[in-house]
Structure formats: structure tokens, C-alpha cells
Amino acid sequence: MHHTVATLAHTHDHRLVLLAIALCVFGAITAMRVLQLAMVSGGRRRLAWFVGAAIVGGCTIWSTHFISMLSYNPGMPISYDLVPTFLSLTIAVVVTSVSFAAMMRREAWAPYIAGVLFGSGVAIMHYVGMSAVQVAGRLAWNVDQVALSFLFGMGFGLLALAAIRNLPGDRGVLSGSAAFACSVLFLHFTGMGAATVIPDPSMTIEMNLLPPVVIAAGAAVSTCFVLTVALLCVVFDRRMTHGKADAERRIHHLAFHDSLTGLPNRTYFGDRLRESLDAAAAQNGQVAVLAIDLDRFKQVNDIFGHQAGDGLLRTLSDSMSAELRGNEMLARVGGDEFVIVQCNVAQPEGADDLAKRLLTAVCRDVEVEGFTFRAAMSIGIALYPRDGKDAATLHPNADAALYRAKQEGRGGYRFFEPEMDMALRERRALQVEMRDALKRKE
């Protein structure tokens, strides 16, 4: 290990070493982020992100290795064969693809096998790339150092893929990126320290046309372009995903809430009432349904216009909502019709107290759109299980009690009584008979 440090200190261009390290860290973070997206995606998106992660990871590994090799100066002329250089790029991409594919399998052993494949593959890529080095001499290898480079690659590779597999969100990305970068950097510089150049004056080499700094800059720019495109895709995908999620939340909200007041609508109320009744049946509990109607609301619309009527609805909805407690839910089920479900309260005391609170909050002077109105409302109350054991019975019975409250002068509340239902049925039957009589001109 001491020989590795000495080699790095005395036979490398430190500017290019720092460039390689920076590029490796940037690429590791990008590759882990893209790989994480592949893991949580499905179908074609999963395949697209997987291919992107393999390309980004492979390019990062290769460019780190190549730029670090360009920084190597053994004290004699050095050149690089293009065939092994570009073969090492192919190996880097293939190795990354295979190890990432293995890691994405569901088995518990997947990240560990993938880590071993990753580290050993990067080592093979490194030594194939090293075969591109051309100097007036030959390379002698320290076998122990070579073995140590394999261990560094496999150990940190295992940690990288285990982290991205097992740790959530940014923790997985940051931990995986750190281990990924360590795998590549420790392997490379340990492998470089394993090589010793034995000069041979009889050998001649053909020098590259461009100096190492220029070649390194070209490799760095090309890799940064790939990484930047990948990051832009990640950012764009995140925005699209968040936009889609926001749209779905808005659609869901509109499906179950009133657009004017923001209160739950009839559908939401029906679901909540059924859930409350099921829970009450299981626990021998009680439920109250309060049907509410604003008194003389139609006159507000007819005289002052729908804008004033809408403003009054919003104002009174807020007033009623402010009186609710955690076990009470208010919904708007019609033009000026509201309903409340009250659970886990002793009845009829709970409903009686709620009705009084609502009347106190609503029956007052209200200013809307420059007009002052005397607001009022009537309330009808039906109780589970006394007045009905299902939603189809309780809500109509609350309506019947509401009708009686209106008949008795408005601005008050009534509990349901069985004769109310009979009276309401008779009234509706009379209305039907009168309508039919008019059609027959009787």
C-alpha cells in the first residue's frame, strides 16, 4: 500500500488525478440516482432508466480510469494504443449492465453477487486498459497488489449495490455513490501501484499526436456531457412525476369534494356514513346524521344574484366547519343542503349540543359582496340505531325531521320521530297525485 501512495505522489500529474476523482464522484452520484429510478419504475421506463444507468456507470468508470492513466508519468516517453483503450470502454459498460441487472433481481443475495461481479469486472477493465500503455520497456506486476486491487473493487462494489438496494431515498444514493467511487478509485490506483516499468532501450514507441492533458480534457468533456444529459432527464422525470401526482390528487379531490366550498360531497359523505355505521355496529356505538338546509336561500339568489349566493354558501360553510370537532364531518350534498355525520358521542346529547352550536354560529347577520343578510338554517336529526340501521334509512329520516323543523317556523332543529316519515310519505304521495291530476286536466 505504501508503494501505491508513493507511485501516486511521484509519478502522476496531480491536476489530472483531481479531475479524475471529481469526474468519478459526479458520475457515481448520477449513476446511483438513475439506477434508483430504474429500481422503482416499471415497464419501458424501467428498461430506459436501466440502460441509462449502465451507460452512465460504464462511462464514469472508463473515464476515471483513462484520465488517471493519462496522468501517469513513469519518467520516460509514454503512449497509448487505441484498440485496448476503447475495448476497455466496452467492457466497462457491459460489466456495469450485468452487475446492475443482477442487483435488480428480487433475491436477497442479488446485491452481493452483483457487487462481486461489479468489482471483478472493473478490475478486468482496468488491466485491459493498462495493456494500452506503451513505453520503452516492459511492465512488471506485483501479484499481491493486483489481488488487493480486486479485493478493493469487489468489497466497495458490494457495499455500493447493497446500499442502493437496501437504503431508501437520498441515503441510498449518497452511500452507494461513495462506495461506487471508492471501488473505482481504490482499485485503479492500487492497480497502478502494482505496475513497475523496467526500461528497455531497444524498444521504440510511436507517440500520440496530442498531449495527455488535451486527451484527458476531451474524455472529461465527453463524459460530462453524458452525465449532464442523464441528470437533466432525472430532473425532467421528477418534475413530470410530481406534476402527474399533483394532477391525480386534484382529480381525486374534485371527485370527492365540492368545488365551491371545498367540503366533502355526496359521494364522500355516503362512504363516510357507511364506514361510521360499520364501526358503530362492531363496537355497539351510536351515530348521528344531521340534515341541514339554509332558510330562504333561494331568495338571496333571486334578489342579489348567484355570486352573492355563492359567497354566502362559502361563508356559512366556514362558520359551520369552525364548530366541528374531530368526530364530526360536514358535507355539502346539494345547492343549500348540508349534512353532518357525528360519531363516538353519547346520543341524543351529542347531536343536541352540535345543533345548538351550529345555530348559534350561523343564525346571525352576514355581510357578503357588500350586502348584509340575516342567515338562518333548519336542522333535522336521525340517530343510529334508534332511527335506522343503514345509510339508506338514516339520511331520509334526517330529511324528514328537517322538513318538520321548517314547518314549525325555521331556524330550529328537530329529532326524527316515526310519524314524521309517514307524514312525509303522505305529502309526497299527494304531490304525485296532484301532478297526475294536472296532466289529466282534472
The reply to whether 80 and 220 lie within a common domain is: yes
Claim to verify: residue 197 and residue 84 sit in the same structural domain: yes
Residue 210 binned pLDDT confidence (cut-offs 50, 70, 90)? low
Residue 241 shares a structural domain with residue 276:
no
pLDDT of residue 320: 93
- The reply to whether 343 falls in a domain is yes
Residue 43 backbone class (left: φ over 0; alpha: ψ -120 to 50; beta: rest): left
Number of structural domains (the chain) is 2
Asked if the model's pLDDT at residue 8 lies above 70, the reply is no
Longest CA span, the chain: 127
pLDDT digits (tens, 9 = 90+) for 11-64: 667 788 888 899 999 999 999 999 988 888 888 888 888 999 999 999 999 889
Amino acid code (one letter) for 422: M
Same domain, 228 and 358: no
pLDDT for the residue 176: 93
Whether residue 280 is found in the same domain as residue 206: no
Residues 115, 208 within the same domain? yes
The answer, as to whether pTM is greater than 0.75, is no
Reported as a pLDDT band with limits 50, 70 and 90, residue 328 is very high
Straight-line distance from the first to the last Cα atom of the chain, in angstroms, rounded to the nearest whole number: 111
Question: Per-residue pLDDT for 4 more than 60?
Answer: no
Question: Is residue 214 over pLDDT 70?
Answer: no
Cα(4)–Cα(7) distance, integer angstroms: 5
| Cβ–Cβ under 8 Å, residues 330 and 317 | yes
330 inside domain = yes
Domain that holds residue 36: 2-248
pLDDT in tens, 165-175: 888 888 999 99
What pLDDT score was predicted for residue 438? 63
Q: Which pLDDT score, from 0 to 100, does residue 73 have?
A: 74
Of the listed 258, 293, 295, 336, which one is catalytic? 336
Would residue 336 show up in a list of annotated catalytic residues for this protein?
yes
Question: How far is Cα of residue 300 from the mean position of the Cα atoms in its chain?
Answer: 45
